[in-house]
Amino acid sequence: MRSSSAADDELGVLELPGGRLFCGDNVRVLRAHVPDASVDLIYADPPFNSGHAYYFTGRRAEGPRFLDVWRWDARAYEETLAGLSTALVDALEALRRILGESGDLIYCAKLAESLSEMRRVLKPTGSLYLHCDVRMSHYLRLLSDALFGRARFRNEIVWAYRTGGAGKRHFARKHDAILFYTASDNYTFHPQRERVRYRKPFFGAQRDEHGFYADVFMRDVWEIPAVINVSAERTGYPTQKPMALLERIIRASSNEADLVLDPFCGSGTALLAAQRLGRRWIGIDISVDALRVAHARLVAASAQPLEALYVQHEDGRPAHLHL
């Protein structure tokens, strides 16, 4: 454990092999602890503005772990705008005419504040992967265009999966959007490949016991199973993402020893994937419950016991929390 500065004491920081975990608001943490142009890759999986409460699997009686509910707050909106660039303010004011003074708009404003700090800490060769709900992704793409520039947009990755539940008045909603932006045109990228099966041979195809195939450059539609109740990697933490998804992103857009940032780290999948692949990492989450899960997974992976995490209460009082 490290507590070497007043800023560390206020926000809460824990040193682990390969990286650092912070407990607190990611805007405050990034401003206090992460220098300009120091991060190689950012994977951000913020709240989706779903309007739902989220529970640990099998522990509903304990109450929700977090509420993804946003309500209009005129004062908070104006205070947020005061710290943003002109381009982001213009984009939010355009959205204001579409969304009105609503929870959706305050959600976009607060995320714009986080995105602005992410852009600041990203290296010129760095990349951002912003994981979104498809009902909000078009608004977040507008904000990201304003922040990075339209020319820095690379892909809207469709993560397709199969989980329970389906609507009778629309097609089953079984994909998320991941917006891929880069800080410049000179960015780290390692093309990935996927195997395509064919019924008949063609020029360049190979053959194995299952038939003909070719390993081609990967599309921006990824079919990776979601974490469900019977998944071996399941922690019980709501919104947990699969390891295969994060490993693919990290392999594609970083090199060994690069620094990976997850400012909404949740159960820590991105951090664990980074550690397994030889990257350094920074994880931030405002939820102590999330950090308990992430901490346990990282300790298990590093096989080194760790003691405690220094965190703050909501009113700013410090608290020593044993994990």
* Poorest-pLDDT segment among 2-11, 22-31, 120-129, 151-160: 2-11
* 3-class secondary-structure state, position 73: coil
Please check the confidence at residue 105 and state whether its pLDDT lies above 90. Answer: yes
Burial 16-43 (b: 16+ CB within 10 A, else e): bebbbbbbbbbbbbbebbbeeeebbbbb
- The torsion region of residue 247 among left (phi > 0), alpha (psi -120 to 50) and beta comes to alpha
CA dihedral 291, 120, 37, 125 (to 10 degrees): 100
For the residues 112-132, what does the mean pLDDT come to?
Answer: 98
- Enter the tokens of residue 104: 């959706």
What's the mean pLDDT in 148-172? 91
Sign of the four-CA dihedral 108, 113, 116, 117: negative
Q: Is residue 14 over pLDDT 90?
A: no
pLDDT at 3 over 50: no
Q: Say if CB 157 and CB 166 are below 8 A apart.
A: no
pLDDT reported for residue 232: 83
What per-residue confidence (pLDDT) applies to 309?
A: 44
Q: Output the pLDDT for position 319.
A: 45
pLDDT of residue 56: 60
The two beta strands, 19-23 and 280-285, are: parallel
Average pLDDT for 70-87: 96
Residue 58 pLDDT exceeds 80: no
pLDDT of 129 strictly over 50: yes
On the question of pLDDT at 122 being above 70, the answer is yes
Residue 14: Cβ-neighbour burial (10 angstroms; 0-12, 13-18, 19+): buried
Structural domain boundaries of the chain? 6-158+173-188+238-322
Q: Is the pLDDT score of 62 beyond 80?
A: no
Q: Kindly state the average pLDDT of the residues 210-239.
A: 89
**Is the pLDDT score of 147 beyond 50?**
yes
- Share of residues in the chain with pLDDT > 70 (%): 83
Residue 244 or 321, more confident: 244
In the predicted structure, residue 157 carries a pLDDT above the cut 70: yes
Split at pLDDT 50, 70, 90, the class of 60 is low
Return the pLDDT at 202. Answer: 78
CATH superfamily placement of domain 6-158+173-188+238-322: Vaccinia Virus protein VP39 (3.40.50.150)
Cα separation of 255 and 132, whole Å?
25
Mean pLDDT for the stretch of residues 227-238: 82
CA distance 172 to 236: 24
User: Between 209 and 158, whose confidence is greater?
Assistant: 158
**Alpha-carbon distance 269 to 296, whole Å?**
12
Share of the chain above pLDDT 90, in %: 60
Residue 231 has pLDDT above 90, yes or no: no
Mapping DSSP onto H, E and C, the string for 15-46 reads EECCEEEEECCHHHHHHHHCCCCCEEEEEECC
Q: Is the pLDDT of residue 323 over 70?
A: no
- Cα separation of 224 and 159, whole Å? 7
Supply the pLDDT for residue 4.
Answer: 38
Q: Beta strands of 133-210 (E only): which ranges?
A: 153-160, 175-182, 193-198, 206-208
For residue 199, pLDDT beyond 80: yes
- What the block records as the tokens of 312 is 């703050």
